[in-house]
């Protein structure tokens, strides 16, 4: 996923390595279900970018992470139930997407898996 910069707004969107990796895992799952992942992923990204370029902090703080005491990550929910965890800089000019989750994926499990992968 390339970085996006919508010329009509000053908000820049970046995708972390983790977000890209997770989108690839979603694509692999969809391929296994004989579903073309390209339009699915494109729709998620388009919905996310359209929302956060206009109102970067408009999505709720992630309820799962808030329960863990972490209140800096917002959670975008797509029409189809996918979620993107992202962070906004204080000046509202930079949005960093940290994770893309399929519906039903557990954030705590994701954090544990990422921790194990890095060690």
pLDDT tens figures, 64-118: 899 989 999 999 999 999 999 999 999 999 999 999 998 888 887 777 776 666 5
61 has a pLDDT exceeding 50: yes
- Domain CATH for 67: 3.30.2310.20
Number of other residues whose CB lies within 10 A of the CB of residue 40: 17
Count of structural domains within the chain: 1
Number of other residues whose CB lies within 10 A of the CB of residue 36: 10
The reported pTM is 0.85
Q: What is the mean pLDDT of the chain?
A: 88
What is the rounded distance in angstroms from the CA atom of residue 61 to the CA atom of residue 86? 9
What is the rounded distance in angstroms from the CA atom of residue 110 to the CA atom of residue 50? 26
23 has a pLDDT exceeding 90: yes
Domain that holds residue 55: 4-118
């Amino acid at each position: 996923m390339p970085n996006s910069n919508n010329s009509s707004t000053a908000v820049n969107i970046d995708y972390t390595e983790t977000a890209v990796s997770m989108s690839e895992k979603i694509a692999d799952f969809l391929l296994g279900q004989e579903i073309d992942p390209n339009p699915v992923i494109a729709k998620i990204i388009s919905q996310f970018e359209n929302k956060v370029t206009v109102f970067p902090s408009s999505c709720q703080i992630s309820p799962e992470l808030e329960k863990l005491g972490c209140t800096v990550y917002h959670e975008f929910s797509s029409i189809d139930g996918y979620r993107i965890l992202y962070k906004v800089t204080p000046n509202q000019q930079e949005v960093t997407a940290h994770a893309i989750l399929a519906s039903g994926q557990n954030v705590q499990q994701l954090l544990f898996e990422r921790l194990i992968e890095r060690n």
